[in-house]
Amino acid sequence: MPDQSLPKARTPEATPGEREAAPAHEGISRRRLLGTAGATGLVLGTAGAAVGYAAAPSEAAAPLTSLGTDRAMFHGKHQPGITDGLQARGHVVAFDLAAGAGRKEAAALLRRWSETARRLMAGEPSPHDDTDVARDAGPSSLTVTFGFGHSFFARTGLEKQRPTALDPLPEFSSDHLDKNRSNGDLWVQIGANDALVAFHALRAIQKDAGRAARVRWQMNGFNRSPGATSHPMTARNLMGQIDGTRNPKPSEADFDQRIFVPEKGEPAWMANGSYAVVRRIRMLLDDWEKLSVKAQEDVIGRRKSDGAALSGGTETTAMDLEKTDAKGNLVVPINAHARITRPDQNGGAAMLRRPFSFHDGIDADGVPDAGLLFICWQADPLRGFVPVQRKLDRGDALSTFIRHESSGLFAVPGGAAEGEYVGQKLLEG
């Protein structure tokens, strides 16, 4: 779990044109409903929501003024869900193509998925048998991101187009991987700031798969809700640690070079794309919580209260790796997680972390099945995730308290232009 921070969300307010109602046969649109839901339903609760629904056709309805109006763009240079800020709710799901399905069926599926994602991200109903789960909500910063696994290319006869960067990850000593919850032909990441909006998108994507693909595995995650703290701040993980302080930022000169495949890179269909490493990391919380706060801070190398390095300063103050205490001991222990994951300790290796926490219940012996859905982005995993994880494998103090239980690597092509679908350059090139 490298120690890096995330850029803030880019969620421009929807324009009036984006609030147009859906066609009449789809009933009252989500956007037509937003106004009265904001004016009455949010104040009056269940009864108010019913009144708001009845009054929705009124042209005098005021727009919803909440995080529900925040919208991410589907079309663009890069796919959504990479540089957007952390969302409160997330789902990641992998599919395998059905027996007999090939390139033609995959192209049709990506075309369906792209149109569904475009509409849902705009706050519109799904184009196929919408379930109305998110009918009275705005887009809520919904993002839907698509990727291809190593096995996809053999299934579709596109082996010559498979990137070398998609070669399987090496084995690590900390791995306890469940193959049934790892890899897959296709991968979809869904994030939103409303749980129903996120579930609605997950259900729509699953239904769109039809007979072309079946779910291989699916995982659910969450983060702190926007506005839950008095000011924007780096997220905390389930260990209570501020997690993500040194993430690359788009304002940095080499950000694109580290995170995205160049426009003239290889293969050509991956231009402006990125590679996602997905790991389900179980946190052994019972063991972790037995440690004193001081011992936890020594494991991480940062103060638990504010995320500042043990060498002093604030969260963003550069860590002094050589600083010692009165007894001559390193203030930041030699095996501290934050020390090991620093890019300058790994030949400049860096990745953009965009994780979700997860909690999937409590085992029969009372142990929580909880941890981190680790998702990181880089232009090349052999220069991003792999060298950092190898270093962690050789002596990270945190390794005693975590277990890597599933893993996947996916090629995520660049964003789709207007009128295109994600992966079109690969599937029709």
Tokens of 142: 């919904």
Q: Residue 238 corresponds to which amino acid?
A: L
Ordered DSSP codes for 110-153: HHHHHHHHHHHHTTPPPSSS---TTTT---TT-EEEEEE-HHHH
Q: Choose the weakest-confidence range: 16-20, 168-172, 300-304.
A: 16-20
243 is catalytic: yes
Out of 243, 256, 298, 396, which one is annotated catalytic?
A: 243
Q: Does the pLDDT of residue 170 top 50, yes or no?
A: yes
Q: Choose the weakest-confidence range: 62-71, 102-111, 156-165.
A: 62-71
Whole-number Å distance between alpha carbons of 98 and 105: 9
- The tens digit of pLDDT for each residue in 76-89 reads 999 999 999 999 99
Q: Does the pLDDT of residue 207 top 90, yes or no?
A: yes
Residue 405, SS3?
A: strand
Asked if 159 and 181 count as a contact pair (C-beta separation under 8 A), the reply is: no
Neighbour-count burial of 18, counting CB atoms closer than 10 A to its CB (0-12 exposed, 13-18 middle, 19+ buried): middle
Q: Does the pLDDT of residue 395 top 60, yes or no?
A: yes
- The tens digit of pLDDT for each residue in 302-348 reads 999 999 999 999 999 999 999 999 999 999 999 999 999 987 777 78
Whole-number Å distance between alpha carbons of 1 and 385: 10
Whole-number Å distance between alpha carbons of 242 and 172: 25
Q: What letter would DSSP give residue 363?
A: -
Output the pLDDT for position 42. 32
Q: Choose the weakest-confidence range: 3-7, 114-118, 217-221.
A: 3-7
Q: Alpha helix (H) ranges present in 158-275? A: 195-209, 255-259
Q: Alpha helix (H) ranges present in 232-325? A: 255-259, 285-288, 293-300
Whole-number Å distance between alpha carbons of 385 and 274: 12
What are the C-alpha distances in Å from 157 to residues 140, 266, 275? 38, 18, 21
Q: Choose the weakest-confidence range: 43-52, 303-312, 419-428.
A: 43-52
Report cis status (omega within 30 of 0) of the bond before 139.
Answer: no
Tokens of 258: 């580290």
Q: What letter would DSSP give residue 195?
A: H
User: Residue 356's beta-bridge partner residues?
Assistant: 373
Residue 415, SS3?
A: coil
Q: Does the pLDDT of residue 66 top 90, yes or no?
A: no
Q: What letter would DSSP give residue 41?
A: I
- Quick one: CA dihedral 375, 306, 287, 319, positive or negative? positive
Mean pLDDT of the chain: 87
Asked if 309 and 319 count as a contact pair (C-beta separation under 8 A), the reply is: yes
Whole-number Å distance between alpha carbons of 245 and 2: 9
What are the C-alpha distances in Å from 100 to residues 111, 156, 190? 19, 10, 27
Q: What residue spans define the domains of the chain?
A: 34-427
Percent of the chain with pLDDT over 90: 79
171 Rama class: left (phi>0) / alpha (psi -120 to 50) / beta: beta
Output the pLDDT for position 157. 98
Output the pLDDT for position 315. 96
Query: Residue 401: phi, psi to the nearest 5?
Result: -115, 10
pLDDT bin (cut points 50, 70, 90) of residue 1 is low
Q: Does the pLDDT of residue 70 top 90, yes or no?
A: yes
CB atoms within 10 A of CB 172: 17
The candidate with the shortest Cα–Cα distance to 408, out of 202, 175, 79, is 175
Which range, 64-68, 342-346, 349-353, has the best average confidence (pLDDT)?
A: 349-353
Output the pLDDT for position 10. 41
The candidate with the shortest Cα–Cα distance to 148, out of 117, 183, 175, 108, is 183
